[in-house]
């Protein structure tokens, strides 16, 4: 009888709650486990896949950077070239939506890249890390998950990186895709994918470096004077998390216009779902006013995802007009006409 061969995948660990444990005599937990340790705690993985464990980083996700995403994308591509059919990344949940979106933009090809983590650490009752990791492995080896870009698997649900957000500080059901819902779920170990997303068009080009991009939130009564500090603080662009469908206080429009003559300024909606507006309101600070002065619309990308895209574009040498085109292309690719 010949031995059964399993698909090969890689599990790459970066840290976060899923990797966190406590040290004797010290309060709190910190990342201390790596991919090999995490896999040891998950019964059944070896019956599904031949897993290569890669310990890449061991940090809280608040210490991850877009530059780390570029390194991670290179490691993922190396694993895929080496024969992995898919890759699982374990990391902290706090910046998971941004890292997953960066990988979605950076990793070429059809192989599933699945990001997961945990909301409860290993010392807590009901720790969710092992179940999330097992689900992520199932998705990484699933032929149905091919061509869907980077996915986030948490709490038994499968989310597209381009739509998912962390929306609860502690719940194990913290991840949602408010605009569209999850693409599918895992039930009795079966990967159930009901929806799909389209691959990013090649015209986005190869993004090889990141740039520092500021994210400034608009809020009640703030004139956004921070916008005037962006260049002196050596940011190479800014994303404004604007009010409602993409509006800002009228007192900020001249500063935004002046800044957008120098660096890309992107206007996103802070509402949490749906598109930033383009042609509804016409008054000082409205989206028609601001967009006519040079800023770029983030469209359906939320501010955090817009910042990731802008960082990779500017870091890779894109001009303001290149960035404008790229945001338009990404938004067209997110929807069927
Ligand atoms: N909030 C923790 C987590 O969910 C810490 C982190 O993001 O690294 O993993």
pLDDT in tens, 171-203: 999 999 999 999 999 999 999 999 999 888 876
Instruction: Quote the tokens at residue 52.
Output: 């290569």
Any atom of ligand 1 within 6 Å of the Cβ of 20: no
The per-residue pLDDT for 206 is 81
Q: How many whole angstroms from its chain centre is CA 104?
A: 8
Long-range contacts of 270-275 (CB under 8 A, 24+ apart): 270/217, 270/218, 270/241, 270/242, 270/243, 270/244, 270/303, 271/244, 271/245, 272/165, 272/167, 272/178, 272/302, 273/178, 273/179, 274/179, 274/245, 274/300, 275/245, 275/299, 275/300, 275/331
The per-residue pLDDT for 232 is 97
Contact 214, 247 (CB under 8 A): no
**Position in ligand 1 atom list of the atom nearest CA 61:** 8
Whole-number average pLDDT of the chain: 96
Any atom of ligand 1 within 6 Å of the Cβ of 93: yes
The per-residue pLDDT for 26 is 84
Any atom of ligand 1 within 6 Å of the Cβ of 17: yes
The per-residue pLDDT for 337 is 77
Residues 208-227 have a mean pLDDT of: 97
Catalytic residues: 17
Q: How far apart (Å, rounded) are the C-alpha atoms in residues 164 and 145?
A: 16
Any atom of ligand 1 within 6 Å of the Cβ of 16: yes
Separation of CA 337 and ligand 1 centre (Å)? 38
Separation of CA 157 and ligand 1 centre (Å)? 18
Give the confidence band of 102 by pLDDT, cuts at 50, 70, 90: very high
The per-residue pLDDT for 199 is 85
Q: Is the pLDDT of residue 216 over 80?
A: yes
Any atom of ligand 1 within 6 Å of the Cβ of 237: no
CA distances from 300 to 53, 274, 276, 313 (A): 35, 6, 6, 18
Any atom of ligand 1 within 6 Å of the Cβ of 117: yes
Quote the percentage of the chain above a pLDDT of 70. 98
Residues 131-138 have a mean pLDDT of: 98
Separation of CA 59 and ligand 1 centre (Å)? 9
Closest CA to 293 of 250, 258, 249: 258
> CATH code for 214-334?
3.40.50.40
Higher pLDDT, 25 or 319: 319
Separation of CA 63 and ligand 1 centre (Å)? 10
Q: Is the pLDDT of residue 328 over 60?
A: yes
Burial class (CB in 10 A: 0-12, 13-18, 19+), 16: buried
**Position in ligand 1 atom list of the atom nearest CA 93:** 4
Q: How far apart (Å, rounded) are the C-alpha atoms in residues 100 and 249?
A: 32
Domain ranges of the chain: 8-193, 214-334
Separation of CA 118 and ligand 1 centre (Å)? 8
Residues 106-129 have a mean pLDDT of: 97
Any atom of ligand 1 within 6 Å of the Cβ of 92: yes
Q: Do 8-193 and 214-334 come out as alike in CATH topology? A: yes
Q: What is the DSSP letter of 7?
A: P
Residues 113-119 have a mean pLDDT of: 98
The per-residue pLDDT for 203 is 60
Among 15, 17, 97, name the best residue to mutate to test ligand 1's pocket (greatest count of ligand atoms within 8 A of Cβ). Answer: 17
Which stretches within 14-56 are classed as H helix? 35-40, 45-48
Separation of CA 93 and ligand 1 centre (Å)? 5
Take atom 9 of ligand 1 and give the residue whose Cα is closest.
Answer: 92
Domain 8-193 has CATH 3.40.50.1170: yes
The model's pLDDT over 28-55, given as tens digits with 9 standing for 90+, comes to 999 999 999 999 999 999 999 999 999 9
Any atom of ligand 1 within 6 Å of the Cβ of 124: no
Question: Which helix (DSSP H) or strand (DSSP E) does residue 320 occupy?
Answer: helix 320-333
CA distances from 15 to 32, 91, 154, 188 (A): 7, 5, 16, 28
Quote the percentage of the chain above a pLDDT of 90. 93
Q: Is the pLDDT of residue 18 over 60?
A: yes
């Amino acid at each position: 009888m010949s031995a059964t061969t399993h698909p090969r995948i890689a599990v790459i660990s970066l840290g976060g709650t899923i990797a966190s444990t406590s040290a004797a005599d010290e309060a709190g937990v910190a990342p201390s486990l790596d991919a090999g340790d995490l896999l040891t705690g998950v019964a059944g993985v070896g019956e599904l896949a031949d897993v290569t464990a890669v310990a890449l980083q061991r940090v809280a996700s608040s210490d991850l950077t877009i530059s780390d995403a570029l390194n991670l994308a290179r490691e993922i591509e190396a694993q895929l070239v080496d024969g992995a059919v898919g890759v699982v990344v374990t990391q902290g949940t706090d910046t998971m939506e941004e890292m997953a979106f960066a990988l979605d933009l950076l990793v070429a090809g059809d192989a599933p890249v699945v990001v997961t983590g945990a909301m409860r650490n290993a010392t807590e009752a009901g720790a969710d890390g092992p179940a999330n990791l097992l689900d992520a492995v199932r998705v990484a080896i699933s032929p149905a998950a091919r061509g869907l870009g980077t996915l986030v698997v948490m709490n038994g649900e499968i989310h597209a990186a381009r739509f998912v957000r962390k929306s609860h500080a502690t719940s194990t059901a913290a991840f949602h895709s408010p605009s569209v819902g999850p693409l599918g779920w895992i039930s009795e170990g079966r990967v159930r994918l009901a929806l799909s997303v389209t691959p990013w068009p090649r015209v986005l080009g190869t993004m090889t470096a990141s740039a520092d991009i500021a994210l400034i939130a608009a809020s009640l009564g703030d004139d956004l004077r921070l916008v005037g500090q962006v260049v002196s603080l050596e940011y190479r662009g800014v994303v404004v998390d604007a009010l409602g469908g993409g509006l800002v206080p009228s007192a900020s429009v001249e500063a935004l216009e002046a800044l957008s003559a120098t660096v890309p300024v992107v206007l996103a909606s802070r509402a949490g779902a749906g598109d930033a507006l383009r042609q509804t309101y016409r008054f000082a600070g409205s989206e028609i006013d601001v967009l006519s002065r040079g800023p770029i619309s983030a469209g359906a990308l939320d501010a955090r995802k817009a910042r990731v895209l802008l960082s990779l574009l500017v870091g890779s040498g894109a001009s303001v007009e290149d960035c404008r085109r790229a945001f338009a292309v990404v938004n067209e690719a997110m929807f069927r006409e």
